[in-house]
């Protein structure tokens, strides 16, 4: 019983360890994920629904965990932020997205912007502009084909945000506000920052036909963007009714499952011709 007990103990201990600190073990995996090449970017098209043209793609991060399979960013990005890994991961994302876009251009696909999500920590890091410049240099991507997405909460330190946005724009890169309307300083941001476009958050788009408030918010955001001469994209568009509503408000830049789910790069390349024919 003792010998078994010993084995049993070891087994029991490992088991306990996993239960008690799931996060800890995920954290350890996450620390190795970058060097073990477990990250992958998926791409989702943004389409001009008037012309059928693909105007851009958003790069969306995925983690291919060796045991757990594909993990979505909402799970691991908060963890990566907590343990300070989001900065190197985020740098990898910028590099990979630019490299891929350059490859698409060289393989003959029509030019499009690639949009990359920034995390707050990346945005607040002093060397962000240098990192972006370095990536553009080493991938040889023309800066006009890169867009960086920030959120309203990153612009809390208003002076700093304005400086960084101006410097990024100075490189020739576009800057957009993601999840527009969910923060609390939207209007001020639009007025004071040199923003290229805003993305209407999917939480509003989803209910646009069933919730009067959301409908009002969406139409107001679109009207305001038009009035200020800022580009606007609606995200999370899943069906024709939502599309029709957006058209009625003269919003034609569309991202959502209705046209395309996020796909691995090679599948995106495969689907490209069909997408454009539609
Ligand atoms: P997000 O930037 O708002 O990205 C849009 C999310 O909506 C994506 O989720 C996308 O897959 C999903 N989506 C697109 N169309 C539809 C639709 O029609 N219906 C619905 N229900 N969902 C749709 P995903 O890929 O899981 O990413 C979640 C969030 O994780 C992103 O939200 C973004 O905030 C963050 N994220 C993704 N990649 C990165 C990254 O490289 N760096 C950082 N810092 N954050 C990232
Ligand atoms: Ca985004
Ligand atoms: Ca969003």
Which tokens hold the place of 244?
């029709």
Pocket test for ligand 1, best of 64, 73, 90, 151 (most atoms within 8 A of CB): 73
* Unique residue bearing structure tokens 């679109």: 222
Question: Would you say residue 49 has pLDDT above 60?
Answer: yes
Question: Would you say residue 89 has pLDDT above 70?
Answer: yes
Q: What is the mean pLDDT of residues 164-168?
A: 96
Q: What pLDDT shows up at residue 69? A: 93
Q: What pLDDT shows up at residue 277? A: 60
**Average pLDDT score over the chain:** 89
Residue 119 CB less than 6 A away from ligand 1: yes
Q: Which ligand is nearest to the CA of 74?
A: 1
Residue 56 CB less than 6 A away from ligand 1: no
Residue 232 CB less than 6 A away from ligand 1: no
State the helix-helix crossing angle for 86-106 and 73-82, rounded to 10 degrees: 130
Shortest-distance atom of ligand 1 to CA 262: 11
Q: What pLDDT shows up at residue 8? A: 40
| Per-residue pLDDT tens digits for 114-132 | 999 999 999 999 999 999 9
**Helix, strand, or coil here: 45?**
strand
Q: Band of the pLDDT at 218, cuts 50, 70, 90?
A: very high
Cα 129 to ligand 1 centroid, rounded to whole Å: 23
Residue 238 CB less than 6 A away from ligand 1: yes
Cα 227 to ligand 2 centroid, rounded to whole Å: 23
Residue 147 CB less than 6 A away from ligand 1: no
Classify residue 118 as exposed, middle or buried by CB count within 10 Å of its CB (0-12, 13-18, 19+). Answer: buried
Q: Band of the pLDDT at 271, cuts 50, 70, 90?
A: confident
Q: What is the mean pLDDT of residues 132-150?
A: 98
Cα 60 to ligand 1 centroid, rounded to whole Å: 6
Classify residue 38 as exposed, middle or buried by CB count within 10 Å of its CB (0-12, 13-18, 19+). Answer: middle
Predicted TM-score (pTM) of this structure: 0.91
Q: What pLDDT shows up at residue 272? A: 82
């Amino acid at each position: 019983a003792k010998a078994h007990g010993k084995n049993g103990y070891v087994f029991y201990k490992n088991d306990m360890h996993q239960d008690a600190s799931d996060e800890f073990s995920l954290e350890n995996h996450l620390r190795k994920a970058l060097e073990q090449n477990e990250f992958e970017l998926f791409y989702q098209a943004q389409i001009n629904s008037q012309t059928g043209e693909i105007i851009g793609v958003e790069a969306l991060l995925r983690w291919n965990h060796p045991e757990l399979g594909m993990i979505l960013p909402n799970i691991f990005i908060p963890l990566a932020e907590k343990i300070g890994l989001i900065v190197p991961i985020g740098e990898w994302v910028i590099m990979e997205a630019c490299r891929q876009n350059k490859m698409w251009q060289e393989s003959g696909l029509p030019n499009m912007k690639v949009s990359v999500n920034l995390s707050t920590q990346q945005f607040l890091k002093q060397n962000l502009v240098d990192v972006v410049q370095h990536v553009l240099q080493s991938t040889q991507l023309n800066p006009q084909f890169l867009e960086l997405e920030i959120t309203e909460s990153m612009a809390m330190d208003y002076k700093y945000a304005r400086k960084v946005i101006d410097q990024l724009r100075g490189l020739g890169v576009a800057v957009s506000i993601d999840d527009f309307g969910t923060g609390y300083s939207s209007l001020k941001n639009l007025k004071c920052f040199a923003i290229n476009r805003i993305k209407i958050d999917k939480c509003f788009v989803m209910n646009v036909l069933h919730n009067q408030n959301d409908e009002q918010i969406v139409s107001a955001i679109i009207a305001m963007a038009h009035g200020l001469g800022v580009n606007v994209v609606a995200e999370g568009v899943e069906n024709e009714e939502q599309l029709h509503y957006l058209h009625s408000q003269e919003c034609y830049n569309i991202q959502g499952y209705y046209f395309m789910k996020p796909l691995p790069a090679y599948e995106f390349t495969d689907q490209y011709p069909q997408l454009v024919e539609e």
